[in-house]
């Protein structure tokens, strides 16, 4: 294929950005199609007031917004600018919101853009119609503001046209033709258009278009209210201007505000969720109706309007001049959907993006198509991130509704899904309930955070603040101590496992992972990495060789499965089986773990007979178990895997044998602290596809002596990243960062925290953080930004506990 023939479906702000990015990379045989007239197509872009800002706990979303802002600021359009740089102002009327704004302000330092906390008086100076008496303060950012979304779409599409792209409006896509598992054409009402690559950028109609190739997109078109007032007397001087005031966000009222000259526009999330069916919207668009302008529902707007009038008394005298319920789409986790169809080669989606993130979303998709991987780490937006059950409406629709309703709420990173819950229970559930387990949800499983039964035996507990105690209990201390001093029983069923088998399995795995696995003897377990072509860390996994032609992989979830499935040879010599749901696993970890295991198996388990990083099939009484001598807690012990039907029996046997050794059931919160003490990274949190193994401190998981594996050539080129992952010890025992907090050296931001926990073994809060190399040396004193405070921290040796591995090898 010389230059691939591309059809981009949808000329909203995302589709136009995709056309621009693809043609910029030389893919100029491109048709950009839309059902509506170009460029006021009637899609969401046509109706967006265009507020664009970057403050986000997600590094990816910030990067997407950054890319949008940079590009929009540089675009030229005959009607005027594509970005009006008025900045943004977020206001706090309560102490809780002020604290949250301090936290958000931290993100500006972490992700390196301009932000400042303001006093109430400074807020009013920047936004004169605010009632300063109500304010406790604000957060002001600059270098962002109002996007003129239709202009930006047109400017990008015209640039693509200048490079050879065809722009076609008034043409409805009716299907996608597929032959031999590949796209061949896009069917339209005016006939087919041959295509090698199709990019679906159909906005809220994405599920309909993706449905043409059998792809499910979990995105809920949702009504969203926007209203513009009659002129505000206090703004009369701005009458002929566009936007001059900063974007205003009053999160606790669920509203955002922009000015349109002397009028004020108010957008509201503060109403019941009104979800719509994409199919019905498609039919409405077919009838020629302005499908995304829905009748305004004034009752839903009464409360937010009143809150806006309270904050801005100047609005008391004005009326609503124009109002509508617009429509845009929400996913279950609020992140976009980017990536290829798993079944049909050549079909891609760039969906569920706000104007704010449109360029980043488009660029990531285009880089993936053209270069094989996005340059931004996009695991949060990868369309393959969902389990099959998460694509069922009974699961994703309630989550998408919650995502809409809670868009402006204060979120703690440990907040669980509230609904639906109880989707999956491990076989140990009844025992866990009996021990007072407090559950979170993990991959749909009900997973214990901690057990109330352990609360009374915690001993001394640290003086944690309210944020750190949001999802915490003294039991977490007791459980850490149990695992370090005696033995803990951890439910590890939530860790997704795959079986790779077949005559070609060993050779194929050898190419997929960064350490040798294919030549190791049966019974070996290897911790290693999945790398991409740039030599960046796609995942960390364990590979256990159970037979010459059979391996069990402990993975990080659906993305690993999708990556491996994508690379499977087409000749059937390797099979991939998802073990999720058919098996269960208990982690038996702690210095007494061997005593407990020995008491209930007739297999020899001393070190000489059952060494570290090996696996054996054994019987625990009458339960057949695959025992892997590995530990995410950093202690002596085993992961014990059996079939789901035997799990309860396994728990009971271990529990009974463990009594004389002080066994305790332990939850995820204790494990999080134990693994940070031991320096174990969590993929997706501590390291991502942004990072090289060396920067993440994972060189030991790579064997460059191995001749051929994905990422090797890139690693040999020796990219040196400017930052390293370091472990910091905080002086303050009351504050536990939750990720995204800035790290400072001499007042300058030099990095950010990824995860942290109070470690009972070291009696200190430890944080993993990306830090400029010059500041990453052991003993360097730094500070962590935390709700506006600077917490003193020192880089410590990593790992802090058991650095020479004596405990795990014992």
Identify which of residues 325 and 642 has a Cβ nearer to ligand FAD in the complex: 325
Q: Report DSSP letters for 766-804, one per residue.
A: EEEEEEEGGG-STT-EEEEEETTEEEEEEEE-SSSSSTT
Rounded to a whole number of angstroms, the minimum distance from the CB of residue 38 to ligand FAD is 9
Identify which of residues 11 and 525 has a Cβ nearer to ligand FAD in the complex: 11
Rounded to a whole number of angstroms, the minimum distance from the CB of residue 402 to ligand FAD is 18
Identify which of residues 202 and 764 has a Cβ nearer to ligand FAD in the complex: 202
Residues 6+ away with beta carbon under 8 Å from 238: 244, 245, 259, 261, 262
Q: Number of C-alpha atoms within 13 angstroms, CB side, residue 538?
A: 25
Among 566, 561, 563, 555, smallest CA distance to 577 is for: 561
| 423/445 Cα distance (integer angstroms) | 6
What is the distance, to the nearest Å, from the Cα of residue 639 to the centroid of all Cα atoms in its chain?
Answer: 27
Q: Is 181 left (phi over 0), alpha (psi -120 to 50) or beta?
A: left
Identify which of residues 308 and 483 has a Cβ nearer to ligand FAD in the complex: 308
Q: In DSSP terms, which residues pair with 139 in a beta bridge?
A: 90, 117
Burial of 708 (0-12, 13-18, 19+ CB in 10 A): exposed
Residues in contact with ligand FAD by CB under 6 A are 9-15, 33-36, 41-45, 47-52, 149, 172-173, 201-205, 209, 224, 226, 267, 326-328, 353-356
Residues 259 and 246 sit within 8 Å (Cβ to Cβ): no
Rounded to a whole number of angstroms, the minimum distance from the CB of residue 91 to ligand FAD is 17
Active site residue: 127, 256, 758, 786, which one?
Answer: 256
Rounded to whole angstroms, the maximal C-alpha distance in the chain is: 87
Q: What is the layout of strands, in order, in the sheet containing 182-188?
A: 173-179, 182-188, 191-194
Identify which of residues 242 and 772 has a Cβ nearer to ligand FAD in the complex: 242
Rounded to a whole number of angstroms, the minimum distance from the CB of residue 288 to ligand FAD is 12
Q: Number of C-alpha atoms within 13 angstroms, CB side, residue 665?
A: 25
Rounded to a whole number of angstroms, the minimum distance from the CB of residue 745 to ligand FAD is 34
Rounded to a whole number of angstroms, the minimum distance from the CB of residue 464 to ligand FAD is 37
Rounded to a whole number of angstroms, the minimum distance from the CB of residue 167 to ligand FAD is 12
Please say if 240 is a catalytic residue.
Answer: no
| 279/209 Cα distance (integer angstroms) | 10
> How many degrees, rounded to 5, is the angle at CA 640 between CA 634 and CA 645?
145
Residue least distant from ligand FAD (Cβ): 12
Active site residue: 66, 262, 540, 798, which one?
Answer: 540
Rounded to a whole number of angstroms, the minimum distance from the CB of residue 16 to ligand FAD is 8
Residues 135 and 91 sit within 8 Å (Cβ to Cβ): yes
Residues 6+ away with beta carbon under 8 Å from 505: 549, 550, 551, 573, 574, 575
**Residue 542, CA distances (Å) to 110, 387, 697, 775 in order:** 32, 20, 17, 31
Rounded to a whole number of angstroms, the minimum distance from the CB of residue 782 to ligand FAD is 35
Residues 6+ away with beta carbon under 8 Å from 459: 477, 478, 481
Residues 520 and 551 sit within 8 Å (Cβ to Cβ): no
The 8-class DSSP code of residue 330 comes to E
Rounded to a whole number of angstroms, the minimum distance from the CB of residue 281 to ligand FAD is 9
Please say if 256 is a catalytic residue.
Answer: yes
Identify which of residues 198 and 784 has a Cβ nearer to ligand FAD in the complex: 198
| 613/628 Cα distance (integer angstroms) | 7
What is the distance, to the nearest Å, from the Cα of residue 754 to the centroid of all Cα atoms in its chain?
Answer: 13
To which residue do tokens 């460029």 refer? Answer: 39
Rounded to a whole number of angstroms, the minimum distance from the CB of residue 328 to ligand FAD is 4
| 30/120 Cα distance (integer angstroms) | 52
Q: What would the two tokens of residue 775 be?
A: 């500041």
Active site residue: 47, 102, 224, 536, which one?
Answer: 224
**Residue 655, CA distances (Å) to 244, 427, 432, 514, 590 in order:** 67, 14, 12, 37, 14
Identify which of residues 27 and 330 has a Cβ nearer to ligand FAD in the complex: 330
Q: In DSSP terms, which residues pair with 192 in a beta bridge?
A: 187
Among 225, 197, 486, smallest CA distance to 345 is for: 197
Please say if 540 is a catalytic residue.
Answer: yes
Residues 622 and 649 sit within 8 Å (Cβ to Cβ): yes
What residues are annotated to the active site?
224, 256, 540
């Amino acid at each position: 294929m010389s230059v691939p023939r591309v059809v981009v479906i949808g000329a909203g702000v995302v589709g136009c950005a995709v056309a621009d990015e693809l043609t910029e990379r030389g893919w100029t045989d491109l048709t950009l199609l839309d059902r509506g007239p170009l460029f006021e197509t009637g899609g969401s872009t046509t109706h967006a007031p265009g507020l664009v800002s970057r403050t986000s706990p997600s590094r990816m979303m910030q990067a997407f917004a950054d890319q949008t802002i940079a590009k929009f600021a540089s675009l030229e359009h005959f009607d005027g600018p594509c970005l009006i740089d008025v900045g943004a102002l977020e206001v706090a009327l309560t102490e809780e919101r002020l604290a949250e704004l301090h936290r958000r302000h931290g993100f500006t330092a972490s992700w390196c853009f301009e932000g400042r906390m303001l006093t109430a008086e400074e807020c009013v100076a920047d936004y004169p119609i605010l009632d300063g008496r109500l304010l406790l303060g604000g957060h002001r950012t600059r270098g962002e503001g109002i996007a003129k979304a239709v202009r930006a779409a047109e400017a990008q599409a015209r640039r693509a046209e200048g490079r050879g792209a065809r722009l076609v409006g008034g043409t409805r896509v009716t299907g996608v033709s597929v032959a031999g598992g590949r796209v061949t054409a896009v069917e339209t009402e005016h006939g087919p258009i041959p295509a090698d690559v199709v990019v679906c950028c159909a906005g809220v109609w994405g599920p309909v278009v993706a449905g043409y190739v059998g792809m499910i997109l979990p995105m809920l078109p949702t009504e969203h209210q926007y209203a513009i007032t009659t002129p505000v007397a206090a703004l009369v001087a701005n009458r002929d201007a566009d936007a001059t005031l900063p974007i205003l966000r009053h999160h606790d009222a669920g509203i955002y505000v922009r000015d349109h000259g002397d009028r004020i526009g108010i957008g509201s999330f503060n109403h019941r969720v009104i979800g719509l069916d994409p199919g019905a919207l498609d039919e409405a668009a077919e009838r020629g109706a302005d499908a995304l302008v829905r009748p305004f529902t004034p009752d839903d707007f009464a409360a937010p309007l009143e809150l806006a009038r309270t904050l801005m008394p100047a609005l008391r005298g004005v009326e609503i001049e124009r109002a509508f319920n617009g429509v845009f789409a929400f996913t279950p986790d609020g992140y976009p959907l980017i990536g290829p169809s798993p079944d049909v080669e050549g079909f891609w989606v760039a969906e569920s993006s706000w104007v704010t993130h449109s360029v980043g979303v488009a660029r990531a998709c285009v880089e993936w198509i053209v270069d094989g991987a996005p340059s931004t780490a996009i695991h949060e937006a990868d369309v393959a991130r969902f389990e099959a059950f998460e694509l069922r409406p009974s699961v994703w629709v309630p989550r998408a509704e919650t995502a809409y309703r809670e868009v402006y709420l204060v979120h703690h990173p440990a907040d669980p899904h509230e609904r639906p819950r109880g989707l999956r229970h491990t076989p140990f559930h009844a025992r866990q309930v009996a021990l007072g387990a407090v559950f979170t949800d993990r991959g749909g499983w009900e997973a214990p955070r901690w057990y109330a039964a352990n609360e009374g035996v915690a001993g001394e507990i640290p003086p944690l603040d309210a944020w750190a105690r949001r999802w915490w209990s003294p039991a977490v201390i007791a459980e850490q101590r149990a695992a370090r001093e005696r033995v803990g029983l951890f439910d590890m069923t939530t860790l997704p496992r795959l079986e790779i088998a077949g005559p070609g399995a060993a050779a194929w795995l050898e190419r997929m992972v960064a350490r040798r696995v294919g030549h190791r003897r049966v019974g070996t377990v290897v911790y290693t990495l999945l790398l991409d072509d740039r030599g960046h860390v796609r995942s960390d996994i364990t590979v256990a060789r159970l037979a010459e032609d059979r391996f069990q992989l402990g993975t990080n979830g659906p993305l690993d499965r999708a990556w491996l499935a994508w690379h499977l040879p087409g000749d059937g010599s390797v099979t991939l089986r998802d073990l999720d749901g058919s098996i269960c696993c208990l982690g038996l970890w702690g210095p007494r773990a061997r005593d407990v295991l020995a008491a209930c198996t007739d297999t020899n388990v001393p070190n000489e007979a059952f060494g570290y990083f090996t696996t054996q099939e054994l019987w625990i009484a009458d339960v057949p178990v695959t025992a892997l001598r590995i530990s995410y807690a950093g202690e002596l012990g085993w992961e014990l895997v059996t079939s789901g039907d035997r799990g309860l029996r396994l728990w009971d046997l271990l529990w009974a044998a463990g009594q004389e050794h002080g066994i305790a059931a332990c939850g995820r919160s204790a494990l999080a602290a134990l693994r940070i003490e031991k320096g174990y990274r969590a993929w997706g949190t501590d390291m991502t596809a942004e990072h090289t193994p060396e920067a993440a401190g994972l060189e030991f998981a790579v064997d460059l002596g191995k001749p051929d594996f994905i990422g090797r050539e890139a690693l040999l080129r020796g990219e040196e990243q400017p930052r390293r992952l370091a472990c910091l010890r905080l002086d303050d025992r009351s504050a536990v960062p939750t990720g995204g907090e800035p790290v400072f050296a001499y007042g300058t931001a030099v990095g950010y925290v990824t995860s942290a926990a109070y470690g009972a073994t070291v009696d200190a809060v430890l944080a993993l953080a990306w830090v400029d190399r010059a500041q990453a040396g052991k003993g360097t004193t730094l500070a962590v930004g935390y709700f506006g405070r600077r917490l003193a921290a020192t880089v410590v040796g990593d790992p802090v506990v058991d650095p020479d591995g004596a405990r795990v090898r014992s």
